[in-house]
C-alpha cells in the first residue's frame, strides 16, 4: 500500500482514534510527519504498523516506557534483550495473577458471609476493611 494518508485515515487503519496518535507523538513513540504545502501531515504504512505495535504491546501489559525500550530494541534487532524484557513482564503478570486470585478468594468469602448471615458482626465486608 505505502500511500500517504491523513491522520484520520491512519487512525482508522490502526484501529485507534486520532487523539491516540497525537498522544503517541507527544510521548515520543511516533514521529510527527512534516506538514506539506497544503498544511496536512501524511502518514505511511510504517507509522500505522508502529501504532499497531504499540497497541499490541499495551495489550500484553507493557507500559509506554517499556514500549519505548522495545521499539529501540526492534531497530537494533536485539532478540535476547527483547526476550529478557518479555520474561520479566511474564513474572510480573504471574505475580499479579496470584494477587488477583487471593483478592478473589477473600471477596468470595466475605460475600458468602454476608449472604449466609454467619458473621457475628453486622457487615463482614465493612468489618474486614475497618480492621484490615
Question: What does pLDDT average to over the chain?
Answer: 90
| Closest alpha carbon to 8 in 22, 18, 21 | 18
Is there a contact between 45 and 1 (Cβ–Cβ < 8 Å)? Answer: yes
Helices and strands: H and E segment counts in the chain: 6, 0
Q: DSSP states of 56-106 as a string? A: HHHHTT--HHHHHHHHHHHHHT-HHHHHHHHHHHHHHHHHHHHHHHHHHHH
Global pTM reads 0.71
Q: Compute the distance between CA of residue 75 and CA of residue 80 in angstroms, rounded to an integer.
A: 13
Q: Provide the pLDDT confidence category of residue 132 given band limits of 50, 70 and 90.
A: low
Q: What class, spelled out in words, does domain 1-62 have in CATH? A: mainly alpha
Could you count the other beta carbons within 10 Å of the beta carbon of residue 54?
A: 24
How do residues 67-117 score in pLDDT, each as one tens digit?
999 998 887 778 888 899 999 999 999 999 999 999 999 899 888 888 887
Amino acid at each position: 500500500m505505502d500511500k500517504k494518508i491523513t491522520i484520520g485515515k491512519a487512525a482508522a487503519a490502526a484501529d485507534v482514534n486520532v487523539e491516540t496518535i497525537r498522544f503517541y507523538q507527544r510521548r515520543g513513540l511516533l514521529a510527527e510527519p512534516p506538514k506539506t504545502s497544503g498544511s496536512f501531515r501524511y502518514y505511511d504504512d510504517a507509522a500505522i504498523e508502529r501504532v499497531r505495535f504499540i497497541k499490541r504491546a499495551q495489550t500484553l501489559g507493557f507500559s509506554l516506557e517499556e514500549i519505548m525500550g522495545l521499539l529501540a530494541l526492534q531497530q537494533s534487532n536485539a532478540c535476547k534483550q527483547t526476550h529478557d524484557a518479555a520474561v520479566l513482564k511474564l513474572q510480573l503478570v504471574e505475580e499479579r495473577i496470584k494477587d488477583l486470585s487471593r483478592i478473589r478468594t477473600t471477596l468470595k468469602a466475605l460475600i458468602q458471609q454476608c449472604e449466609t448471615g454467619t458473621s457475628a458482626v453486622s457487615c463482614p465486608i465493612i468489618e474486614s476493611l475497618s480492621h484490615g
